[in-house]
Amino acid sequence: MKLFSLVAIAMAAAAAIIVTQHASAQWANVPNPSLKRTATGEVDLAGRAPMKRGKPDLSGIWLPDREPVPARMVTVEGNIPFPHFFFNFMADVKEGDGQMRPETAAALQRKMALGGAGEPAAHCLPTGMPVLATGILPFKIVQAESEILILYEENTVFRQIFLDGRKPVEDAEPRWLGYSSGKWEGNELVVETIGFNDRGFLDAIGHSHSDKLRLTERIRRKDAGHLETQVTVDDPTAYTKPIVYTIQSTLRPDEDLLEYFCADNEKDVQHFQ
Amino acid sequence: MKRLATIVVSIALLLVMVSPSTFAHHSFSAEFDAHKPLKVTGAVTKLEWQNPHTWFYVDVKDDKGELTSWGFELASPNVLLRNGWTKSTLKVGDLVTVEAFQAKNGTRNANARAVTLSATGKSLLAGSSGGAGNAP
């Protein structure tokens, strides 16, 4: 059997388990009273986006949409869906778009040669931005007047997006998830994040960024059940032009986040070769 | 330009190899070998229903009749829960057949791809495999 097929089978086998997500959750499907429902009790995902203090209310549990993986990853068990930009944030980059600078490409090759053993998440360190928002576990947005919190189930991490107009921190201590501030432009929340360290991954295969990364997210709740986030990765040190792509997520009504503490039973690293 | 083309091609070829198929926590290929499939039957001796991965252990009888313990990695309990599992889906004492891929480092650890309960013939992973599309 060809290597490709074997790897594909392995991928399918391991990925298969993450494909379906049942409606059940740990809180026994407690209905969210703020969501409009049809006569049969289903949440109307195509209904109007709820509003809060005159702005769209982004609150809710969201899960990045999935789609079949690229053709070269098709498996014997059929197409295994994954969020589009989970593996490769440059998946839709076309000729003339931003490209990796040579040193960025070389760094990616080195990481890939390690088979993923060096990825931060494998060592219980935070999954970087923005791959965190294209993962396979949900995130929760909590919207207050002066700030918005995003709670990510994976690794139980959070982001604070301040809406109070505060200025960027000078000589900020670099962070895994940076410093985020946001403002409303019409019905769109525009979030700017800077102050990253240079250790995070932009996607699962390990595209890197420098500490000069500026990440812009334009977040729009299209309707009750659908969240669209346009991401701009602007890092002239590592890429020739800003790279723009859009993540789609769908509401998970009546669910909640679960705990995820990576160090609880981490034992993979000792098996890495 | 040729150098850039080489880099692009190399990355395309490597892409499949390093995809984090086991879970966001780590890449399959960092730990397991797709060339080393394994199929064993035995009794479950221990279940670790913890993040970042659920592990279970099976006593397998070898050719000489001696028992050896194998450890099998599953997805995170968070993922399993959303696929209909609970911590009592697989219990100590259950007789199971496990299809898996072995660890690269030669230890008796493997990534489980299918678990079948001998008592009922029920496949514990099949219910969540392909074809579900983008279902929430």
Residues of B in contact with A121 (CB under 8 A): 20, 24-26
Mean pLDDT of chain A: 84
Q: Is residue B17 part of a domain?
A: no
Could you say which of B4, B16, B125 has the minimum Cβ distance to residue A17? B125
Q: Which domain holds residue B55?
A: 25-126
Does the structure show a pLDDT above 60 at A267? yes
The shortest C-alpha distance from A64 to chain B (Å) reads 10
Could you say which of B14, B21, B83 has the minimum Cβ distance to residue A21? B83
Could you say which of B21, B73, B125 has the minimum Cβ distance to residue A10? B21
- Check B15 against A117: CB less than 8 A apart: no
Q: What pLDDT digit, counting tens, does each position of A106-115 carry?
A: 999 988 887 7
Mean pLDDT of chain B: 76
CB pairs under 8 A between A and B: 230
**Residue B18 to residue A222: CA distance in whole angstroms:** 34
pLDDT for B134 = 27
The shortest C-alpha distance from B120 to chain A (Å) reads 20
pLDDT for B125 = 65
Mean predicted confidence (pLDDT) in A238-260 = 94
* pLDDT tier, B109 (very low <50, low <70, confident <90, very high otherwise): very high
pLDDT for A242 = 97
**Tokens (6 digits) for B39:** 């199929």
Q: What pLDDT digit, counting tens, does each position of A186-198 carry?
A: 999 999 999 999 9
The shortest C-alpha distance from B29 to chain A (Å) reads 5
Q: What pLDDT digit, counting tens, does each position of B40-65 carry?
A: 999 999 999 999 989 999 999 988 99
DSSP A202-234: SSTT--B--TT-EEEEEEEEEETTEEEEEEEEE
- Check A10 against B15: CB less than 8 A apart: no
pLDDT for A77 = 34
Could you say which of A15, A153, A262 has the minimum Cβ distance to residue B21? A15
Q: What pLDDT digit, counting tens, does each position of A130-165 carry?
A: 888 888 889 999 999 999 999 999 989 999 999 999
Q: Are A179 and A215 in contact (CB under 8 A)?
A: no
- Check A260 against B12: CB less than 8 A apart: no
Q: Are A229 and A7 in contact (CB under 8 A)?
A: no
Give whole-number Cα distances, A12 to A18, A52, A111, B18, B27, in Å: 10, 42, 22, 13, 13
Does the structure show a pLDDT above 60 at B15? no
Does the structure show a pLDDT above 70 at B10? no
**Buried-state track A74-102, b at ≥16 Cβ within 10 A, e below 16:** ebebbbbbbbbbbbbbbeebeeeebbbbe
Q: Are B30 and A123 in contact (CB under 8 A)?
A: no
More confident residue, A96 or B96: B96
Q: Is residue B68 part of a domain?
A: yes
Q: Is residue B96 part of a domain?
A: yes
More confident residue, A199 or A134: A199
pLDDT for A130 = 84
Count of CB atoms within 10 A of residue B39's CB? Answer: 10
B123 touches A at CB < 8 Å: no
pLDDT for A14 = 42
- Check B113 against A16: CB less than 8 A apart: yes
Does the structure show a pLDDT above 90 at B20? no
More confident residue, A239 or A17: A239
Q: Is residue B134 part of a domain?
A: no
Lowest mean pLDDT across A11-15, A219-223, A242-246, B119-123: A11-15
Does the structure show a pLDDT above 80 at A25? no
* pLDDT tier, B26 (very low <50, low <70, confident <90, very high otherwise): low
Cβ-Cβ contacts under 8 Å for B33 (sequence gap 6 or more): B101, B102, B103, B104
Query: The CATH number of the domain where B64 resides is what?
Result: 2.40.50.1010
Q: What pLDDT digit, counting tens, does each position of A53-89 carry?
A: 999 999 999 999 988 666 555 333 334 577 888 888 9
* pLDDT tier, A34 (very low <50, low <70, confident <90, very high otherwise): confident
Could you say which of A69, A106, A135 has the minimum Cβ distance to residue B24? A135
Does the structure show a pLDDT above 70 at A173? yes
Cβ-Cβ contacts under 8 Å for B132 (sequence gap 6 or more): A19, A20, A81
More confident residue, B132 or A264: A264
Q: Is residue B5 part of a domain?
A: no
Does the structure show a pLDDT above 90 at B124? no
- Check A136 against B24: CB less than 8 A apart: yes
State the complex-level ipTM: 0.81
More confident residue, A231 or A78: A231
Number of domains chain B contains: 1
Mean predicted confidence (pLDDT) in A247-252 = 96
Q: Is residue B98 part of a domain?
A: yes
Q: Is residue B36 part of a domain?
A: yes
- Check B30 against A116: CB less than 8 A apart: yes
Q: Is residue B35 part of a domain?
A: yes
Does the structure show a pLDDT above 70 at B37? yes
Interface of B with A in 63-102 (CB under 8 A): 73-76, 78-84, 99, 101
Cβ-Cβ contacts under 8 Å for B57 (sequence gap 6 or more): B44, B45, B46, B47, B69, B70, B71, B72
pTM of the model: 0.83
pLDDT for B71 = 96
Residue B52 phi/psi, 5-degree rounding, is -85, -10
